[in-house]
Structure formats: structure tokens, C-alpha cells
Chains A and B, each alone.
Chain A
Amino acid sequence: MKYLSEYRDASVALKMADRIKATSQKPARFMEVCGTHTVAIFKYGIREVLPEHVALISGPGCPVCVTAARDIDKALKLAQIPGVIVTTFGDMIRVPGSKSSLQHEKSLGADVRMVYSTMDALEIARQHPEKKVVFLGVGFETTAPTIAAAVVAAEVEGIKNFSVLSSHKLLPPAMDALLSGGELDVSGFICPGHVTTVIGTASYELVAANYHTPCVVVGFEPLDILQGISMLVSQIEAGEARVEIQYRRAVAPEGNVNAMKTLFRVFEPCDAPWRGLGVIPKSGLALREAYRSFDADALFDLEVPDCPEPPGCKCGDILRGVKTPKECKLFQTVCTPENPVGPCMVSSEGTCAAYYKYSQF
């Protein structure tokens, strides 16, 4: 087994789609809360093979997109401090804050560097002991343990010029907030594969039980997604709301205990602002007191004023799953991947960027 080609076989996929058509009677709306799912669903044309009464909607699954404009402004302020090197994953560079973007600051002379891993940021800190190297911690539970591991490595090695500006987010509190808000019409969740590799399935049990909403943890290949939808459809038809794992090869019910231990050694849950969703209690990650010397928020003065969303931008409604990009007047007119207005058009995993790339044909 190669763990790839088996899950991409078109003839098997069509049989799986036929099975969904044969079993699905009730109308259903399934939400994915992972940007990689958003892109995969478009890329493999999953919507096209589903019955008309089964709809797929995108939620707040793109980490860059859910980062509050205020947090982007803090990163911009950081980039303007002399002697600071800002390191980040690629997608963050182009996201507009209230007045500028990291890309723009870079063009004005700020030292902003794109890295593949936090360990690359740590290497930059080793090479430039005279500079302060800050990593922009953006991402969900898949990414946060890798940032925590880098902080631990910096502590062990005694690297003093490395810190993290944490905008990390936790997904289950956002799923709860979406459902408790009452405006979202959703019959089941396509739960994020690799987030669940880390956190395990326990937190979905509450979502399934409290809101009678089935949750299936799904992988990212076309057959994973179709099988996951088939499992959700079976639950809907039977009137059930359980937590199931489709992505068994990568997800154990208990998650990755080692990664969670590292994550919570360095971080603790905090209330956090989400773009479009507002402040959600205990949905973010802040560095613990013991790691204050690695916390950019404590090391630098990063106070910024509240900033409004760009006029006309519907990113907030899109992230809550209550509007699609096509219902935004800016989509494809003023807001394009070349000149993005909102973050959902910037990130390759953003809902607007995915609609723009795949749904014009």
C-alpha cells in the first residue's frame, strides 16, 4: 500500500458516489472546517457527484483567514521595530491589515522572511544573535505543537533571541460557537483529519451530543472525502449523531498524546478574537507564564487600535458559513487573488480563493 493511489481511484470514487445517491433521501448540509478540505473538495469535483439535496459548505477552516485584523496589525507593528526579523508561513505575508501588509512592509525595508518550519526560524535566530527573531504563530492544533516544540528546543539550547507572537486557534470551541449562535443551518461536520490526528475525537463528542450533529473525521483524498460523506449520510438517514473516524490510518481516538503534552507544556488556552466570529472563550493559545521570555506579546509593545473590516468585505459571513463568496459584491470584481481585499481571497486555502480558482468553469 502507498496510502495515496488507493484513495484516488476514479472508478472506485464513482461507485462510492453512487452509493451515496442510493442511500441519501433527506436534504443535508455538511460543513468542512479545514482549509485543506475546502481545496480538496473543489479540486476533486466532489460537489459534482453528490445528489442535489446534499450541500457542502465551508466554515472557519483557514487559519490565516480567521486571524483577526487586529492580530495582523500587531504583526505589522512588530515588523516596523528596528532589529526585528519577522518569520512566518507563506500565506501570512500578503494578508492585508488595516493599512498595510507584511509584503508591503518588506518592500519598505522590514526584514520579513518566509519559512517552511519553525525550526528554520530558530536557525535564523542562531545565525543572527544580534537580531530578535519573531515567529508568527498562526494555525490550528496541527501546527501549534510544532511551534511549541521549537520553543522547547530554544529553551534547551539557550537561544534567547527567539520568540513567538501567538495567534493560534483551537477548532472545537469554534464549532461550538457556530452552533450555539443559531444562525448556521448545518446537519453534520466533516471534521479535520490532521487536527484530529493531534487532538483525538473527545471534543467532538460534546458537539455531537449537545447539538445532535454527526461528526465524521475525514482524510484528504477524494475517496476519503466521499466515504466520509457517505458515513454522514448514513447517520442522517438513521437519525443518529455520533462521532466516527473515516481517516483511521492517521487518526486514533485518543489523538497524539506526545504532541498534546508538548503543546500544553508551552501554551495554555485563552479567549481569542476570530475574524467573523468575534471573541470565542478558550479558543486561542497563549504562552504560559514559564515561557514569558519567548512571548513576543510580552517582549514588545504591540498595542494597536481596533480596526474595522474592509468596507463591503463578507469574509466574516463566509467564515461562519452563512454566505458563499458569490453572494459578496466584491468577489471577482474588486477582490481577486492578485488584489485581495479580504483574507479569504489571500490564502490558497481560503474559501474565496478556492471558489475563484475552481468554480468558474
Chain B
Amino acid sequence: MADAILDVREISVDYLTRGSPARAVDHVSFELRPGEFLGIVGESGCGKSTLLFAIAQLLSPPAQITGGEVIFKGTNMVELREKALRAIRWRDYSVVMQSAMNALNPVKTIGAQYADAMRAHQKISKDAILERSREVFALVGIDPVHLRSFPHQLSGGMRQRAMIAMALLFSPDLIVMDEPTSALDVVAQRALMVQIKELQRELGFAIIFVTHDMSLVSHFSDRLAVMYAGRFAELGPTREVFASPMHPYTVGLFDAFPSVNGPKVYIGGIPGAPPDLAALPGGCSFAPRCPRAMALCTGGEPEFYQVAERRVRCFRHGPEGGDGD
């Protein structure tokens, strides 16, 4: 991709525990275009949040990036020193987290936290701070009087929107979001997604959106990545992945969702449990649970094969397997 704003190359993240390290993210690579909405879905523990924080350079011990590069607007962020990193933080890319109640400092007003972010990057007058704060509040539809409120004084939905507004302070090119809707009720979830999509259309930033809620994100994302045991199982345009999932794991995931107005069908789950990341089985990591496993699957690890617009990590869709039936 020539005009990629983000180029993640073979990024690996290990959790260094007392015993052997657990590999949470295993040589993941992908690219992101400006203004693109990429959704990353998967079960709990598949490594999607870890991947997100690795990209944003926000990991903390015992998690550590143990390999790969994250090239954002031409610079490899993994190699950047803390000071240089701090300069581009929030200005070029920002972060939205799951729970605003936990992500906002409980002892400072919203306005003060906005001011902190702005003052960290430039000399700016109090009036300018106030003006910009009101602007972003207006973007998400919050009354500016709440700049003087503390986080616990706002409702859940308002807090979440305040957090998103904070992410927009410098009109960044990329916003990474870690399950920002999981803490809300269904109605608020949808409202928030609609608002995010509108903001994206207005301001043109790219989004990486991590969630376990496939149905929600698939209505809004341009591309969808399905993650399993620290790797991408499938990656492609959302509509296609949704209409005709290729990886058996993706198939299983979609089968697990009941349709509201379709006929009553038997809901299949995916038998078994995700593997222990410190002791992965040899061969394809999904093989033990895969309904379509072949002898080949326990022998070696499948590559991320390219199939038209998509990539699939499955022997069945590679040159050696049969052709996805």
C-alpha cells in the first residue's frame, strides 16, 4: 500500500512471567490507509488489546514488544526515544479506552485534563485552551459547562463522549479505540458508533477499533480483522468477510450469532477453548478446535495466504489445501 499511514510489520509482544514467556501477539502485520476504519475482533484473550497498545506504544511490564516495527507516518515508533514519542503522542494519534470512568483522572476536572494534554505539546494561552475545549465538546454534543465537572459527575454515555472529544483535541490522523462501547448499554452503543462514524467522515482520521462485538463493528468498519491466539486468522473488506467468511474460526464466530428475523436455526458454538499462549500446540493454533482440520494442519503453521482482496491463515485456502469447501 503506497499511501499507508500505518505499516505494522511482524510485531510480536511477550508477557514475561515467572515461567516461560507467553506470546500474546505473534508476528502480526498489516497496513492502514488514511481515513480507513479497521475493526479487530476476537475472543477475550486473543491478544487484540495487547496489539492495540503495542501499536500505541503504551504497553507496561510485564508486557514487552519483542520484535517487529510499527511505522507510523514514516517513522518506526518502536525505535523512538521516549521524548520524541511524547512529541507525537496525542498530536498525530490518540487513544480511546473502554471505560471513561477508569480512563479519566478522578481528582481533576474534565477541563483540566484537556488543558494538560494541550499544554504538554505547545505554549498555549488559557483562552485558546478554553476555546478548543468548547469546540471538541460541541463536536460530540456536550454542554461546555461540564468542563468544570469531575468525571464521576457525568453519566456513562457523556463520559465516553468526553473521552472521545479529548482524543480529538489535536485532530489526529489516527485514533485507536479499545472496546469503547463495551461498558455501555445497547442503545448507547449504537448511538456512540454512529457518532464516531460521523466524526470520522467530518475530520478524516483513521480508526483501529478493537472489540469482541462482531455484529456491532461490522456495520461500521471498512476492513475487518479476525484475531486468534495472537495472530490474524482473516483480514479483508468487512462486507466480504461478513458475507462469505473463509477461515473456519470466522465461520464459527458468525454462526454463533442468532439472526433476529431469520428462521430458527441450530446455533453452533466453537467447541473447546482458546489455547494457552505459553504453550501453543505445534501446527495451526486453531487445528484442535477446527471442524475442517486436515492432517496437514498439525504438521506446520499456515501462512497468511492472499486470496483476492483478503488474507486467510488457513491451509484450506492456501496452495496446498482444497479450495474452501
Genuine A/B complex: no
Identify the A interface with B (CB < 8 A): none
Identify the B interface with A (CB < 8 A): none
